[in-house]
């Protein structure tokens, strides 16, 4: 199976390295020439638990050099999904599958508009990664990857990708209701990302103060009200889940925190901003998400 990673930041490089280490044929595609050059010259350096290893993997800035692939993984920031969807459509031809494990909402829809929706698979992953510099990432945490078909008829395709990932040592499960899964991940990002990005704290520090716990809870409660209005099945207690993930990823900066630290555009519009838009349509007040969105937008505008 030939694979392309569209977007080789921290997470794209991590998944690419896991697949390459398992002997799979994978090419990283990224716009950062310094990152691509470093990987092609020295290999990708992956740091994990204080140990470093080098993974040999090919990388390019030019999608045209990759040729048709059986599986394209989209790992760009959600601000770049439109372009990535066009690239995914070209690379996957008429039969290849396209998988998004990106944060936020709207990514799978964008892919499904650019290519046959029956070939789109979406999901979430609990792996964590940090971009350290050109050619270097840190594997910051391990966990399950859960994927599902964007259209109900494509369950067998999601299962085949899950089997393929499991063979490569990436623990993966296929589920039929990917929409509920993406909302469950959205609640986590709603409770952690903007708060950590705005305050400079690490994920686990949300739990240190009653005030940040309450802020995360209020943001998630608003998002749950929007989800209910849209008929989304909510499993378990999303606020408790936010606290668990904040604890489990305690020493990490959230991806939005890393974006703000580096002066990069954040995924606010696919996370808290998404809730604000959906809430407006449903006539539900979401003052906490509105404020978090406005503050992140302000920060970005003044980098
Ligand atoms: O997905 C994440 C992110 O940072 O975007 C969490 C789960 C919050 C881990 O940092």
Query: Residue 155's pLDDT is what?
Result: 96
CA of 39 to the centre of ligand 1 (A): 25
Query: Residue 249's pLDDT is what?
Result: 87
Query: Residue 231's pLDDT is what?
Result: 94
Angle subtended by helix axes 178-199 and 210-229, to nearest 10: 150
Atom of ligand 1 nearest to the CA of 126: 7
**Domain layout of the chain by residue ranges:** 2-176, 180-301
CA distance 67 to 64: 6
| pLDDT (mean) for 258-270 | 95
C-alpha distance from residue 251 to each of 64, 130, 243, 269 (Å): 39, 12, 14, 25
Tokens representing 49?
A: 């638990």
Whether pLDDT at 142 is above 90: no
CATH 1.10.1040.10 applies to domain 180-301: yes
CA of 9 to the centre of ligand 1 (A): 14
Whether pLDDT at 285 is above 90: yes
Whether pLDDT at 251 is above 90: no
CATH number assigned to the domain covering 2-176: 3.40.50.720
Query: Is 77 an annotated catalytic residue?
Result: no
Q: pLDDT tens digits for 132-141?
A: 999 999 998 8
Whether pLDDT at 282 is above 90: yes
**Tokens 């993997």 belong to residue:** 57
Query: Residue 299's pLDDT is what?
Result: 98
Query: Residue 132's pLDDT is what?
Result: 94
Q: Is 266 touching ligand 1 by the criterion CB < 6 Å?
A: no
Q: What angle do CA 57, 167, 128 make, to 5 degrees?
A: 60
> pTM of the entire structure?
0.93
**Tokens 């048709």 belong to residue:** 68
CA distance 89 to 96: 9
The residue from 157, 185, 202, 241 that is catalytic is 185
Query: Residue 287's pLDDT is what?
Result: 98
By the 8 A CB rule, do 256 and 193 touch? Answer: yes
CA of 227 to the centre of ligand 1 (A): 20
């Amino acid at each position: 199976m030939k694979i392309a990673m569209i977007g080789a930041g921290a997470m794209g490089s991590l998944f690419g390295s896991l697949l390459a280490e398992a002997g799979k044929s994978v090419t990283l595609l990224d716009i950062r020439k310094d990152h691509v050059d470093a990987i092609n010259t020295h290999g990708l350096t992956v740091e994990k638990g204080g140990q470093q290893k080098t993974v040999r993997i090919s990388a390019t800035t030019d999608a045209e050099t990759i040729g048709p692939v059986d599986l394209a993984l989209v790992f760009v920031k959600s601000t770049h999904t439109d372009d990535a969807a066009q690239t995914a459509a070209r690379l996957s031809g008429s039969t290849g599958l396209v998988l998004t494990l990106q944060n936020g909402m709207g990514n799978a829809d964008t892919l499904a508009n650019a290519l046959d929706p029956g070939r789109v698979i979406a999901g979430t992953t609990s792996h964590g990664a940090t971009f350290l510099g050109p050619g270097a990432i840190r594997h910051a945490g391990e966990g399950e990857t859960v994927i599902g078909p964007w259209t109900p008829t494509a369950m067998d395709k999601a299962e085949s990708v899950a089997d393929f990932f499991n063979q490569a040592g990436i623990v993966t499960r296929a589920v039929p209701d990917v929409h509920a899964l993406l909302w469950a991940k959205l609640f986590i990002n709603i409770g952690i990302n903007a708060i950590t990005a705005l305050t400079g704290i690490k994920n686990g520090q949300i739990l240190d103060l009653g005030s940040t716990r309450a802020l995360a809870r209020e943001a998630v409660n608003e998002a749950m009200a929007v989800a209910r209005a849209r008929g989304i099945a909510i499993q378990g207690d999303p606020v408790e889940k936010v606290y668990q993930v904040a604890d489990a990823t305690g020493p990490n900066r959230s991806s939005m925190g890393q974006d703000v630290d580096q002066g990069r555009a954040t995924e606010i519009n696919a996370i808290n901003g998404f809730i604000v838009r959906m809430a407006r349509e449903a006539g539900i007040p979401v003052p906490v998400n509105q404020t978090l969105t406005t503050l992140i937008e302000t920060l970005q505008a003044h980098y």
